[in-house]
Each structure stands twice: as structure tokens, then as C-alpha cells.
Amino acid sequence: MEEFLAALLTAIADLLLEFLVEVFLEAFLALILRTLSNLFGKGRPLNPILAGTVYLLLGSGTGALSLWLFPHPVFHAARFHGISLLISPVLTGLAMSQLGRAMRRLREQPMRIETFSFGFVFALGFAIVRLVFAR
């Protein structure tokens, strides 16, 4: 029973840490995109499929960068291997949609990454790279 509880707590801690890293990176990316948009003006928006592909690639790139900084999984949850691929992107997408909602309350136009779907896609790219390549 103690081993199961330890594995469960390890999996929860791993999910929480990955979630926090993804939300921080996405919020930072949204800040950069908002700043660039304000500096250079609003251009024609990308096709949603192309934008989703770009966010998936950006998520994969930041996942690869995180592997360079932290090559090993922070926690080793053998029983729950791969669960972060499901839960973390959903939680990150929800957090980014709440950020977008807060931006609308402030009468700001939210960036695409501040929606559930694009936040989810970014976090999914991040999680896939971490799952496949973390040693």
C-alpha cells in the first residue's frame, strides 16, 4: 500500500510540475506575442490549422529545450507512465482559457494561445517530447 501511495504522490507531483512549467511558458509566449503585435501592428491572422501546427511545433521546441535543461524526468512514476500526456495538456488548456477570459474582462483581445484549444496543442507538443525523450 505504501508503494502505491508513493507512486501516486510521485505521479501527482510530476503532473503538477509539468503543468506549472507549461503554463509559465505559454503565458511568457503570450506576453512576447502580445508585445510583438503591439510593436508591429496587427497582421492578417493565420489559418487556424496552420496556427495549431505552429503552436504544436513551438510546444515541441520548448519541450526539447526543457530536455536540454532537465534531461531526466523529475519524478519516476513507473505505474503511471504517460498519464501526463493526457492530464497536463487539459489542465494547461483550461488555465490558458482562464487567462484569455481574464484578458477579455480587461477589454484586451486575447492571443490565440490564450484559448483552450491552442493552449492544449502547445502543451501536448511539450508533453509528447518530454514523454518520448526524457531518459
CA distance 66 to 56: 15
pLDDT tens for the chain, 135 residues: list them: 778 787 778 778 877 888 888 888 888 888 888 888 777 776 677 789 999 999 999 999 999 998 888 887 765 655 666 777 888 899 999 999 999 999 999 988 888 889 999 999 999 999 899 888 887
CA distance 62 to 26: 10
Residue whose C-alpha is closest to residue 119's, from 87, 96, 91, 88: 96
Burial of 17 (0-12, 13-18, 19+ CB in 10 A): middle
Quick check: 132 and 105 in contact, CB under 8 A? no
Domains of the chain by residue range: 2-133
